[in-house]
């Protein structure tokens, strides 16, 4: 057998396990040759894991605790939810049915034809970042490029970008300018590495019906620069790994990410997955850190996120751990981040009125901070670029809560334990979900006044009572006399926004009487002072 890409794919189509046939040759035929050495980077960091283990998470990220993300791009034009560009080519999916009904068959009206509908006519980066800063965000992240292979900046390596088409604006550049104006740290998200496989559905065809077998528009070589050149269609099963991704795509990813870093020098570069393409990924990471250090007296202030835990391990880590729609099950030894959304990642008009409530968001924020993490919350923008009324309402509730309670959030560190109460110990089923860490937020239950979360700062202990007690005494068991936490003397207890509180202390815990009037709508922060509390 001649080991060409075409022959390997033919073997796969015939059901022959090609990887049993001289794997090294098969791997090379699919374009997965060992990566060429990327360009040398200059600075303290070399493109090796051993060198990158010098990395220390910058103080600004440890202190920030809360960021906001605009997960926004041409897929938002349709306002039909996330992964539209992939799912519109999957016969039988909700988005395929919507597309055919609304625009026509994807062999005739493909994803490329939806891009002009993303006009961003109400987009105002300055207004949005002022709004987000007022809501308490300390950093903001723009979409850079999603799996649809469309760059939201003035890309040197991809003509399919927001400057050339759609809104015809440098979205990343405008967000960066506004972030600088409002004093927010600036991030950009990268979802590109998996696009080669993710977008392969555009090269398929209907399996049934009058147009069965007619190729979708992504099969036209004229549009390979948008849809990619993947010859195998990864349809319903998309393995989230680097298998079958050729060397040419890895190099192309690297070129575009280097362009993004060089043009905008982000404080945070988010990867939707693990750090990809080892040699290229390490080179990009070293370049990001060295670029930041060159601007900051030799000390890198940049953050890179990976969803692979070992990339952020305490002694061998090289970046920050990110958990998508989930929360870790303990106090993480290094700062980490949850990224989640109040609805779908991309705007979905059918989800209006069904967003996460402000209580859910605030409960998650407090819980995450108590475990040494940050929350980055996506507010999905409609096609116009202006949040809808329900989104603005959630933001306003967060804004009002932050005005009262931010003292117990910003620049805090974990206590001896992250919390106490009924929802501290998770069930066996929840442990199984949490073992994966990612995507476990749906197992969460609403907190009540019996649930407590702790943070500390400057010798002060903060206890968040996660619900209003309604004339019931609040008992914080870990602060009881002779408790396992061995807490010292307590001399003062104050409710942020509500004044000093009467308290007593015995073997059962610290007992507090709340006032009649609530200082805010959710999660009530008690400031505890004394000696040897930490």
**Residue 432 scores a pLDDT above 80:** no
Q: Kindly report the average pLDDT of the chain as a whole number.
A: 90
Nearest one of 329, 296, 512, 280 to 438, comparing CA atoms: 329
SS3 for 391?
A: helix
* CATH superfamily label, 419-530: Golgi alpha-mannosidase II (2.60.40.1180)
Q: Give the model's pLDDT for residue 31.
A: 42
Condensed to tens digits (0 to 9), the pLDDT of residues 436-494 reads 466 577 777 889 999 999 999 999 999 999 999 998 889 999 999 988 888 899 999 99
Quote the pLDDT of residue 166. Answer: 97
CA–CA separation, 104 and 118 (whole Å):
18
- What percentage of residues in the chain have a pLDDT greater than 70? 89
Relative to beta strand 320-324, strand 373-378 is unpaired
pLDDT above 90 for 40: no
More confident residue, 7 or 42: 42
336-341 and 373-378 beta bridge pairing: parallel
Average pLDDT of 41-66? 93
Model pTM score: 0.90
Judge contact between 351 and 345, C-beta under 8 A: no
Taking 90 as the threshold, does the pLDDT of residue 431 lie above it? no
- pLDDT for the residue numbered 33: 42
Q: DSSP E strands: which ranges in 107-243? A: 139-145, 185-190
Q: Is the pLDDT of residue 1 over 60?
A: no
* Phi and psi at residue 529, to the nearest 5°: -115, 160
**Fold type of domain 49-78+114-193+245-408:** TIM Barrel (3.20.20)
Pairing of strands 460-465, 268-271: unpaired
pLDDT of residue 314: 80
CB 62 within 8 A of CB 304: no
Assess contact for 151 and 158: CB atoms under 8 A: yes
Q: Is the pLDDT of residue 20 over 70?
A: no
φ/ψ region of 245 (left if φ > 0, alpha if ψ in -120 to 50, else beta) reads beta
For 208-244, the pLDDT digits (tens) are 999 999 999 999 999 999 999 998 888 778 889 999 9
Measure CA 194 to chain center: 16
pLDDT at residue 352 tops 80: yes
At 527 the three-state DSSP class reads: strand
207 phi/psi in degrees, rounded to 5: -95, -15
Task: List the one residue out of 134, 28, 33, 122 whose CA is nearest residue 406.
Answer: 134
Residue 111 has pLDDT above 70, yes or no: yes
Higher pLDDT pick, 233 / 98: 98
The pLDDT of residue 35: 42
pLDDT of res. 41: 58
Average pLDDT over residues 407-413: 98
Q: How many CB atoms lie within 10 A of CB 310?
A: 11
∠328-329-333 over CA atoms, to 5°?
70
CB 140 within 8 A of CB 132: yes
pLDDT above 60 for 176 = yes
pLDDT at residue 29, rounded to an integer: 39
pLDDT tens figures, 253-287: 999 999 999 999 999 999 999 999 999 999 999 99
Between 24-28, 342-346, 463-467, the lowest mean confidence (pLDDT) is in: 24-28
| Residue listed under structure tokens 């890895």 | 250
- pLDDT, mean of residues 175-190: 98
Distances (CA, A) of 99 to 102, 103, 113, 357: 5, 5, 11, 30
How far is Cα 266 from Cα 189, in angstroms, rounded to an integer? 10
Domain locations in the chain as residue ranges = 1-30, 49-78+114-193+245-408, 79-109+201-239, 419-530
Percent of the chain topping pLDDT 90: 80
Give yes or no for residue 13 having a pLDDT over 50. no
Mean pLDDT value across residues 370-388:
97
């Amino acid at each position: 057998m001649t080991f060409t890409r075409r022959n390997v794919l033919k073997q796969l189509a015939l059901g022959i396990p090609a990887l049993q046939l001289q794997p090294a040759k098969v791997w090379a035929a699919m374009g997965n040759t060992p990566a060429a050495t990327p360009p040398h980077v200059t600075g303290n960091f070399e493109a090796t894991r051993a060198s990158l283990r010098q990395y220390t998470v910058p103080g600004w990220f440890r202190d920030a605790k809360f960021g906001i993300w605009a997960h926004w791009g041409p897929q938002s034009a349709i306002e039909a939810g996330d992964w539209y560009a992939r799912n519109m080519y999957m016969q039988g999916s909700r988005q395929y049915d919507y597309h055919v009904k609304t625009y026509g068959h994807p062999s005739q009206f493909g994803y490329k034809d939806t891009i002009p509908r993303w006009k961003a006519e109400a987009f105002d980066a300055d207004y949005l970042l002022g709004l987000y800063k007022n809501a308490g965000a300390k950093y903001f992240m723009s979409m850079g490029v999603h799996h649809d292979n469309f760059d939201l900046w003035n890309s040197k390596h991809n003509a399919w970008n927001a400057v050339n088409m759609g809104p015809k604006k440098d979205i990343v550049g405008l967000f960066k300018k506004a972030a600088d104006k409002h004093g927010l740290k600036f991030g950009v998200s990268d979802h590109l590495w998996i696009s080669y496989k993710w977008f392969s559905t555009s090269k398929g065809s209907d399996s049934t019906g009058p147009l069965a077998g007619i190729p979708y528009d992504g099969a036209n070589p004229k549009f390979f620069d948008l849809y990619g050149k993947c010859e195998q269609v990864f349809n319903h099963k998309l393995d989230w790994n680097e298998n079958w991704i050729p060397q040419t795509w890895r190099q192309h990813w690297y070129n575009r990410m280097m362009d993004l870093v060089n043009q905008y020098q982000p404080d945070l570069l988010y990867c939707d997955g693990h750090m990809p393409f080892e040699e290229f990924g390490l080179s990009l990471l070293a370049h990001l850190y060295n670029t930041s250090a060159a601007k900051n007296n030799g000390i890198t202030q940049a953050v890179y996120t990976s969803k692979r835990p070992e990339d952020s391990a305490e002694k061998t880590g090289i970046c920050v751990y990110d958990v998508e729609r989930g929360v870790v099950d303990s106090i993480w030894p290094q700062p980490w981040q949850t990224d989640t959304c109040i609805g779908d990642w991309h705007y979905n008009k059918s989800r209006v009125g069904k967003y996460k409530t402000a209580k859910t968001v605030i409960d998650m924020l407090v819980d995450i901070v108590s475990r040494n993490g940050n929350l980055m919350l996506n507010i999905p923008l409609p096609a116009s670029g202006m949040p809808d009324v329900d989104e603005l309402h959630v933001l306003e509730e967060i804004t009002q809560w932050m005005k009262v309670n931010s003292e117990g959030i910003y620049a805090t560190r974990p206590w001896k334990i992250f919390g106490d109460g009924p929802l501290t110990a998770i069930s066996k089923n929840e442990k199984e979900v949490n073992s994966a860490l990612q995507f476990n937020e749906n197992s969460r239950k609403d907190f009540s006044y019996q649930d407590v979360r702790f943070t500390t700062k400057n010798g002060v202990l903060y206890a968040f009572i996660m619900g209003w007690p309604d004339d019931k005494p609040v008992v914080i068991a870990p602060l009881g006399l002779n408790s396992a936490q061995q807490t010292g003397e307590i001399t003062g207890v104050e409710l942020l926004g509500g004044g000093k509180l009467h308290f007593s202390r015995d073997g059962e815990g610290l007992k507090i009487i709340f006032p009649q009037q609530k200082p805010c709508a959710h999660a009530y922060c008690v400031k505890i002072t004394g000696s040897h509390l930490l």
